[in-house]
Amino acid sequence: MDEKKPNNIGSDKNRSGVDSEQSFRIKAATEAIRAEKKEKARQMDSRSASEKTAQKSSPVISSAKKENDEIVFYDNKKNYYSADVKNSVQKGRCESGSHISRPASVSRNRKKNITKKRLAFNIISIFLGIVMILGGTGSVIFYAYMSRINYQEITNESSVGGNKKNQSDSQNSNPINTNTYEGQLLNDKQILNVLLIGADTRHNQTTGQSDSMILLSVDTRNKKLKLLSFMRDTYVSIPGYDNAKLNAAFTYGGADLTVRTIQLNYGIQIDRYAVVDFKSFKNIIDTLGGLDIELTEEEVDYIDWQTWSNNQADTRHELDASKYTYKPNKDGENVTKIHLNGRQALWHSRNRGEEGICSGDDYTRTLRQRNVISLMINKIKGSDLKKIMDIVYEIGPMITTNLKTSEITSLASNILKYLKYDIVSQSAPDYEGMGTDFVYSDDYEPVYINGEQVSCILILDWDEFRNKVAKFVFYDSNPLKYS
């Protein structure tokens, strides 16, 4: 009988089923354990990071001492803490979020210091604010003052009048050679040359004549203010016109042509100009409060005579020369010091003599003009900056100039320094240079202008004369002066 094989419970099929279930359970348990470990590791890492942050932000206690009956702890950064945080720093570090406070006395002192610093800061801030406001306001006021001055640029165009070139007077077919300057105009960055023109624009004239032409040189190199009078009767070449007297240039073409004429003949650069007419000149002196001027007896009488003759006073003797006592000055002239208003000072400045009243000529007139300008400068010297600004405000509309606001600002900022400079004055040519530097045409060679014989100053050697003018303007010397 065949023997049956027993049922094989552990056959491959059954064995395979049992093994799969068991493997799944083991795998699931393993993954759970791994996940738990990862979570624990993440928590540990997070806690460690927190502690490290707390350690970095918390100071280390390095020492302790008693101050004002309180225990004070000092850390390694020299910060200090009161005893109420002692427990929180037993392990050497302050726990994150712990309240740290200074000792009461130290806190009070610190608060006082902070209060003082804040107060000082506030005061300084307010002060600077006020300075800035006042500075800004001052700038606005200053520029408002400057804007009152009549600005007029040189256009290099002549206006009207005169005989154009190639239209020479038939009686003067061989005009005297004035030998004009052909080189580069002489100039110095440390010397500002301003041509002051006194214009006679009475009787509704638009241009008039230049009664005076004075070069004011602000010489910062030699620390001097120089006044040089160009004699108005000097026979010169006028650009675009026939030769004529120097003062004709202003009639022909105003300040523009006057500047170009002086540059052409004298060879020096005129940096800027300023024009003042008779009325403005009078008002400027009145604004200054008048001038105290040394006068001879006949000069006083001349002022009275002109004032009365022009119906400017009801009496022939407004000043009355006879009531003054006259004493010799350094030049040996008997003089007295009299206070003159603007009108009286103007007549004095225009005085070139009057027969039977006062002796004089154009040279004495230019000397008087320079003396008056020197007195005006000296009068301003005694003024503070506010007074000077008030004067600028008043006289601004009376002046026509091509000085720019920025240049006037620069001059104004240094005016107190410039006013300390010595003042030197000279005429070109000097009267004592007659026969050496110049002659009068009456004694030398007849000169005709517009068909009429006139008396002119003729420069004998323009090259030599220009050299002397340049030395006066640009150097600390005066070869023009003979006495």
Are 472 and 425 a contacting pair, CB within 8 Å?
no
- Under the banding of pLDDT at 50, 70 and 90, the label for residue 2 is very low
SS3 204: coil
**Lookup result for tokens 């005016």:** 415
- Two tokens at 469? 């003018």
Helices 104-146 and 385-395 sit at what angle, rounded to 10 degrees?
30
152 and 76, same structural domain?
Answer: no
161 and 73, same structural domain?
Answer: no
Q: Is residue 5 part of a domain?
A: no
Give the pLDDT confidence score for residue 47 in this predicted structure: 61
Q: Is residue 365 part of a domain?
A: yes
Rounded to 5 degrees, φ, ψ at 10 are -95, 35
Domain with residue 154: its CATH number is 3.40.630.190
Alpha-helical segments (H) within 288-446: 297-309, 342-349, 362-381, 385-395, 405-413, 415-418, 441-444
Q: Is residue 363 part of a domain?
A: yes
The per-residue pLDDT for range 211-220, each reduced to its tens digit, is: 899 999 999 9
Distance, in Å, from the CA atom of 13 to the CA atom of 19, rounded to the nearest integer, reads 10
Please give the model's pTM, rounded to 2 decimal places.
Answer: 0.66
What is the DSSP track for 31-57?
A: HHHHHHHHHHHHHHHHHHHHHHHHHHH
Give the pLDDT confidence score for residue 435 in this predicted structure: 92
370 and 267, same structural domain?
Answer: yes
153 and 94, same structural domain?
Answer: no
Beta bridge partner(s), residue 210: 199
Which carries the bigger pLDDT value, residue 334 or residue 78?
Answer: 334
Are 361 and 376 a contacting pair, CB within 8 Å?
no
Q: Is residue 81 part of a domain?
A: yes
What is the DSSP track for 63-84?
A: EEEEETTEEEEEETTS-EEEGG
Give the pLDDT confidence score for residue 478 in this predicted structure: 86
Q: Is residue 74 part of a domain?
A: yes
273 and 355, same structural domain?
Answer: yes
DSSP secondary structure letter of residue 219: E
229 and 84, same structural domain?
Answer: no
Q: Is residue 23 part of a domain?
A: no
Number of structural domains the chain divides into? 2
Give the pLDDT confidence score for residue 12 in this predicted structure: 43
Most confident of 42-56, 139-153, 272-286, 300-314: 300-314
Distance, in Å, from the CA atom of 79 to the CA atom of 66, rounded to the nearest integer, reads 15
Give the pLDDT confidence score for residue 340 in this predicted structure: 97
156 and 63, same structural domain?
Answer: no
In the chain, what percentage of residues exceed pLDDT 90? 43
240 and 93, same structural domain?
Answer: no
**Nearest 5°: CA angle at 433, between 430 and 437?**
105
152 and 97, same structural domain?
Answer: no
What residues make up the domain containing 233? 147-290+341-474
Beta bridge partner(s), residue 194: 216, 272
In what helix (H) or strand (E) does residue 217 lie, and over which residues does it extend?
strand 209-219
The per-residue pLDDT for range 256-307, each reduced to its tens digit, is: 999 999 999 999 999 999 998 888 889 889 988 999 999 999 999 999 999 9
Q: Is residue 177 part of a domain?
A: yes
Q: Please say which residue of 36, 68, 102 terminates a domain.
A: 102
Distance, in Å, from the CA atom of 280 to the CA atom of 287, rounded to the nearest integer, reads 10
85 and 224, same structural domain?
Answer: no
Give the pLDDT confidence score for residue 6 in this predicted structure: 40
Which residue type sits at 276? V
DSSP secondary structure letter of residue 95: P
Distance, in Å, from the CA atom of 426 to the CA atom of 424, rounded to the nearest integer, reads 7
| 238: nearest Cα among 170, 184, 172, 158 | 158
Half-sphere exposure of 272 toward its Cβ, with a 13 Å CA cutoff?
19
Output the CA torsion 354→360→363→367 (10° steps): -100
Give the pLDDT confidence score for residue 147 in this predicted structure: 65
Q: Is residue 410 part of a domain?
A: yes
Q: Please say which residue of 68, 102, 136 terminates a domain.
A: 102
User: Please, what is the average pLDDT of the chain?
Assistant: 76
| 283: nearest Cα among 214, 341, 199 | 341
Distances (CA, A) of 262 to 104, 131, 181, 252: 84, 46, 10, 14
Which carries the bigger pLDDT value, residue 75 or residue 312?
Answer: 312
Which residue type sits at 79? N
Q: Please say which residue of 102, 126, 160 terminates a domain.
A: 102
Residue 447 pLDDT > 50: yes
172 and 73, same structural domain?
Answer: no
Residue 414 pLDDT > 80: yes
Range with the lowest mean pLDDT among 66-75, 127-136, 147-156? Answer: 127-136
The per-residue pLDDT for range 301-325, each reduced to its tens digit, is: 999 999 999 999 999 999 999 999 9
355 and 420, same structural domain?
Answer: yes
